[in-house]
Amino acid sequence: MRIGYITKEDPKNVRAYSGTHYAMYQALKGEFEEVVPLGPVDHWYKNIAKLKGKLYTFGSEKTFKFQYDIDLAKIHAKQLEEKIRKLEPDILLGSLVSPEVAFLKTDVPLYLTTDATFPLLQDLYKSHSNLHSLSIRNALILERMAFEKARKLLLPLDWLSISAQNNYRIPESKIEVIPYGSNLLSPPENKVQDFIQERVRSEELKFLFVGVRWEEKGGPEAVGIIKELNRKGIKAKLIVVGSTPRIEEECVEVIGFLDKQDANQLSKLIELYQSSTFFILPTKAECVGMSFIEAASYGLPAIGSNVGGVPEAVNHKETGLIIDPEENPSKTADKIAELWNDKSIYEEMSVQARKRYSEHMNWKNWANRVKEVLSKEIT
């Protein structure tokens, strides 16, 4: 089976969409006879779309998203049609390309995956909360057209499935929920068990925070929780990666951004996942929660908020703790302290986090299930 893999960015670029396109591409190559990249998709007309956006929003504080421009979407569809005719794939799989495939005309069966729907982005993210009415209208039109055009939607979360059904009336029979994997190289099982035992013996709790947008990802809340733990007599430290907030607290270490493409910086990030006691991200906005999956691959229990797809990435009291975004830091600290004081519960939670990664949330499993769906549909 020859798969035409559609992405807006180049899937051979390990930096594309934080490595997700590349990870999918590599996983698909392990399951299918041939995977043909049909991305990147780009055209100079996007500059016209940006100019139109400036005209539409002149004198207002609204944001125009050129990515949802209808004319640009039609041009991208034509570009893809030419590639499809030239490369002749048996089947198409598009990742995060609803605008690009909305006007696509082809007899080749199309399947789509995405980590969010537009209505959910509007609900969660500030970047989508103040859009120009035309951008909102276009985004809804394009996503509906893409979802209706696809033979099936391969979504990583039930949360997304429910949105596709409720917002676009996509029948449940047209949706398969297949969890995504981790974009970090996962250590072998025996190594993870060693990490867990080392953590259990540790006298200091190390909490790893990985997020670029400090406020949105709940950085201040994480600091509050760690301060409460120390106030209660539990030695705890917060390690911040991705953000560079100015914090003068002995219990906080700010490392900043670590580039996964730099061998030394990647090694540092991996060491942090290995040695930390918990992963913490009391985020206010999150879709799939890739960093939670990365944490699980290292057997690292996670503290996440009841937002977006986080409750599906973290099983409450099984692979971590799900807290209310408005929960008092002292109350959260009490829950963590209770968990840590019974090392058998902490150890079991760590084991279950790794088990869930191994059995469900990994790219090999994702690609295998995608193959099952595609093979069944085209036979």
DSSP-derived secondary structure for 233-267: T--EEEEEES-------TTEEEEE---TTSHHHHH
- How far is residue 150 from each of residues 95, 106, 145, 248, 323, measured CA to CA in Å? 12, 11, 9, 51, 36
Could you report the per-residue pLDDT of 304-339, keeping only the tens digit for each? 999 999 999 999 999 999 999 888 999 999 999 999
- Read off the DSSP letter of residue 285: -
Domain identity same for 158 and 247: no
Torsion angles phi and psi, residue 174, rounded to 5: -95, 5
* Confidence tier at 120 by pLDDT (50, 70, 90): very high
Domain identity same for 68 and 146: yes
Could you report the per-residue pLDDT of 30-88, keeping only the tens digit for each? 999 999 999 999 999 999 999 999 998 888 889 999 999 999 999 999 999 999 999 99
Mean per-residue pLDDT, 156-170: 97
Domain identity same for 95 and 219: no
Could you report the per-residue pLDDT of 203-235, keeping only the tens digit for each? 899 999 999 999 999 999 999 999 999 999 999
Domain identity same for 148 and 56: yes
CB neighbour burial string for 310-345, b if at least 16 within 10 angstroms, e if fewer: bbbbbbeeebbbbbeeeeebeebbeebbebbeeeee
Q: Where are the beta strands (DSSP E) in 21-105?
A: 34-37, 91-95
Domain identity same for 173 and 75: yes
Domain identity same for 168 and 206: no
Domain identity same for 292 and 305: yes
Domain identity same for 175 and 42: yes
Structure tokens, 325: 């975004």
Domain identity same for 294 and 345: yes
Structure confidence at residue 260 (pLDDT): 85
User: For the whole model, what pTM was predicted?
Assistant: 0.93
Q: Identify the CA nearest to 305 among candidates 219, 213, 186, 177.
A: 219
Q: How many domains does the chain have?
A: 2
Rounded to whole angstroms, the Cα distance separating 257 from 237 reads 18
* Confidence tier at 159 by pLDDT (50, 70, 90): very high
Domain identity same for 158 and 238: no
* Confidence tier at 379 by pLDDT (50, 70, 90): low
| pLDDT over 70, % of the chain | 99
Domain identity same for 152 and 210: no
**pLDDT of 261 over the 90 cut:** no
Structure confidence at residue 265 (pLDDT): 93
Domain identity same for 107 and 166: yes
Q: 49-53, 54-58, 152-156, 374-378: which has the minimum mean pLDDT?
A: 374-378
Task: Kindly report the number of other CB atoms within 10 A of residue 374's CB atom.
Answer: 24
Burial of residue 213 (CB within 10 Å: 0-12, 13-18, 19+) is middle
CATH number at residue 67: 3.40.50.2000
Rounded to whole angstroms, the Cα distance separating 68 from 10 reads 20
Q: 11-15, 109-113, 139-143: which has the minimum mean pLDDT?
A: 11-15
Task: Kindly report the number of other CB atoms within 10 A of residue 73's CB atom.
Answer: 23
Mean per-residue pLDDT, 274-287: 94
**Could you tell me the residue range of the domain that residue 259 belongs to?**
189-359
